[in-house]
Chain A
Amino acid sequence: MSKIHTILEVKDLRVAYAGSGERVQAVNGLSFGVQEGECLGLVGETGAGKTTVALSVMGLLPERTSRIESGEIIFEGRDLLQCKKKEMQAIRGEKISMIFQDPMTSLNPVLTIGEQILEGLELHNEEKKSREELIARVHEMLELVGIPAARYHEYPHQFSGGMKQRVVIAMALACSPKLLIADEPTTALDVTIQAQVLDMMSQLRERLGMTMILITHDLGIVAEKCDTVATVYAGEIIEFGTVEDIFSGEAHHPYTKGLFDALPSLVSTERRLKSIEGLMPDPTDLPAGCKFHPRCPRCKPICREREPEPVQISQSHMIKCFLYAQGEEEMGSR
Chain B
Amino acid sequence: MKRDRQQGLKQGKFSAVWRRMKKNRTAMAGLVILIIIILMAIFADLIGDYNEVATKMDIANRLMAPMKKGLFGTDHYGRDVLARIAHGARVSLIIGFGAVLVSLVFGGAIGATAGFYGGRYDNIVMRCMDIIMAIPSTILALAVVAALGGGIFNLMIAIAVADIPNYARVVRSSVLTIRNADYIEAANAVGAGTAHVLARHIIPNVLGPIIVQCTLGIGSSILNAAGLSYIGLGVQAPRPEWGNMLSEAREFIQSAPHLIIIPGIFLALTVLALNLLGDGLRDALDPRLKD
What bracket does the count of chain B residues touching chain A fall in?
A: 20 to 34
B60: interface (CB < 8 Å): no
Contact of A123 among B5, B192, B201, B290 (CB under 8 A): B192
Q: How many A-B residue pairs have CB under 8 A?
A: 88
> With the chains together, A196 CA to B200 CA distance in Å?
32
**Interface assignment of B136: CB less than 8 Å from any CB of chain A:** no
Closest to A107 in B: B183
Nearest B residue (CB) for A120? B190
A92 to B193, CA, bound (A): 11
- Set of chain B residues within 8 Å of A124, measured between Cβ atoms: 191
Question: Within the assembled complex, what's the spacing in Å between the Cα atoms of A93 and B200?
Answer: 17
Interface residues of A in 94-129 (CB under 8 A from B): 94, 97-98, 100, 102, 105-111, 119-120, 123-124
Q: How far is the CB of A318 from chain B (nearest CB, A)?
A: 30
Q: Which of B2-23 contact A (CB under 8 A)?
A: 4-5, 8-9, 11
Instruction: Kindly specify which of A146-154, A211-219, A221-229, A263-271 makes contact with the partner chain.
Output: A146-154
Find residues 255-291 in chain B having any chain A CB closer than 8 Å to their own CB: 286-288, 290
Cα–Cα distance between A119 and B4 once the two chains are bound (Å): 22
CA distance A124 to B193 in the complex (A): 12
At the interface, yes or no: A139 with Cβ under 8 Å from chain B?
A: yes
- With A92-B189, A123-B190 given, is the CB distance from A105 to B5 under 8 Å? no
Task: Verify A123–B205 contact, CB threshold 8 A.
Answer: no
Q: Which residue of A lies closest to B289 (CB)?
A: A157
B185 at the interface (CB under 8 A from A): yes
* A109-B8 contact in complex given A91-B191, A93-B189, A171-B190, C-beta closer than 8 Å: no
The interface residues of chain A lying within 8 Å CB-to-CB of B4 are 150
Tell me the smallest distance from the CB of B174 to a CB of chain A, in Å: 12
Give the distance to chain A from B116, nearest Cβ to Cβ, in Å.
13
CA distance A226 to B181 in the complex (A): 30
CB–CB A110/B182 < 8 A: no
Pairwise interchain contact B191-A89, C-beta atoms closer than 8 A: yes
**Is B132 close to A, CB under 8 A?**
no
Could you give, for residues 85-99 of chain B, a 1 whenever the CB lies within 8 Å of some chain A CB and a 0 otherwise?
A: 000000000000000
B286 — which chain A residues lie within 8 A by C-beta?
Answer: 110
Which residue of A has the minimal Cβ distance to B196? A123
For B236, list chain A residues within 8 Å (CB). Answer: none
Report yes or no: B189 in contact with A97, Cβ–Cβ below 8 A.
Answer: yes
In the complex, A106→B185 CA distance in Å? 8
A180 to chain B, nearest CB (A): 11
Looking at A60, A92, A97, A110, which has the most chain B CB atoms within 10 Å of its CB?
Answer: A110
Q: Is B186 an interface residue (CB 8 A)?
A: yes
How many angstroms from the CA of A192 to the CA of B188 in the assembled complex?
Answer: 30
* B102 contacts the other chain (CB 8 A): no
Q: Say yes or no for B70: interface residue by CB 8 A criterion.
A: no
A134 located at the interface, meaning its Cβ lies under 8 Å from any Cβ of chain B in the complex: no
Contact of A247 with B by CB under 8 A? no
Residue in B5, B119, B288 with the greatest tally of chain A CB atoms within 10 Å: B5
Q: How distant is the Cα of A124 from the Cα of B191 in the complex, in angstroms?
A: 8
Give the complex CA separation of A100 and B181 in angstroms.
12
Q: Which of B8, B183, B186, B288 has the most CB of A within 10 A?
A: B186
Contact A120 B191 (CB under 8 A): yes
The smallest C-beta distance from A224 to any residue of chain B, in angstroms, reads: 25
A110 to B206 alpha-carbon distance, docked (Å): 10
> Which A residues touch B193, using CB under 8 A?
89
| A168 at the binding interface (Cβ < 8 Å) | yes
Instruction: Decide if A171 touches B186 in the complex (CB within 8 Å).
Output: yes
Bound Cα distance A242, B152 (Å): 77
Interface check A58, CB cutoff 8 A? yes
Q: Is the CB of B185 within 8 A of A139?
A: no
Q: Are A100 and B288 in contact (CB under 8 A)?
A: no
Contact A90 B191 (CB under 8 A): yes
> Contacts A89-B192, A110-B287, A123-B196 given: A105-B181 contact, CB under 8 Å?
yes
Q: What 1/0 flags go to A203-246 for Cβ under 8 Å of B?
A: 00000000000000000000000000000000000000000000
B28 within 8 A of partner (CB) = no
With beta carbons under 8 angstroms apart, the residue of B11, B192, B207, B288 that contacts A109 is: B288
Residues of A within 8 A of B290 (CB): 155
Partner of B5, one of A64, A93, A152, A171: A152
Of the candidates A64, A93, A149, A157, the one whose C-beta lies within 8 Å of that of B191 is A93
Taking CB atoms and an 8 Å cut-off, the chain A residues in 131-153 that contact chain B are 135, 139, 149-150, 152-153
Residues of B contacting A106 in the complex (Cβ-Cβ under 8 angstroms): 182-183, 185-186
B9 touches A100 (CB 8 A): no
- Residues in chain B near residue A108, CB distance under 8 A: 181, 183, 187, 201, 204-205
Once A105-B183, A119-B200, A153-B11 are accepted as A-B contacts, the answer to whether A60 and B188 lie under 8 Å apart by CB is: yes
Closest to B7 in A: A153
Task: List 27 A–B pairs whose Cβ atoms lie within 8 Å, in order of A's numbering.
Answer: A58-B189, A64-B119, A89-B193, A92-B189, A93-B189, A93-B190, A98-B186, A100-B185, A100-B186, A105-B182, A105-B183, A106-B182, A106-B185, A106-B186, A107-B183, A108-B187, A108-B205, A110-B204, A110-B205, A119-B192, A135-B5, A139-B5, A150-B4, A152-B8, A155-B287, A155-B290, A172-B189
Kindly list 16 other residue pairs between chains A and B, CB separation below 8 angstroms, not including A100-B185, A172-B190: A89-B191, A92-B190, A93-B189, A108-B201, A108-B204, A110-B205, A110-B207, A111-B201, A111-B204, A119-B192, A123-B192, A135-B5, A155-B287, A157-B287, A168-B186, A172-B189
Give me the interface of B with A, judged by CB distance under 8 Å. Answer: 4-5, 8-9, 11, 119, 181-183, 185-193, 196, 200-201, 204-205, 207, 286-288, 290
Of all A-B residue pairs in the complex, the 9 with the closest CB atoms, nearest first, are A93-B190, A120-B190, A93-B191, A105-B182, A92-B191, A106-B182, A108-B183, A106-B186, A98-B189
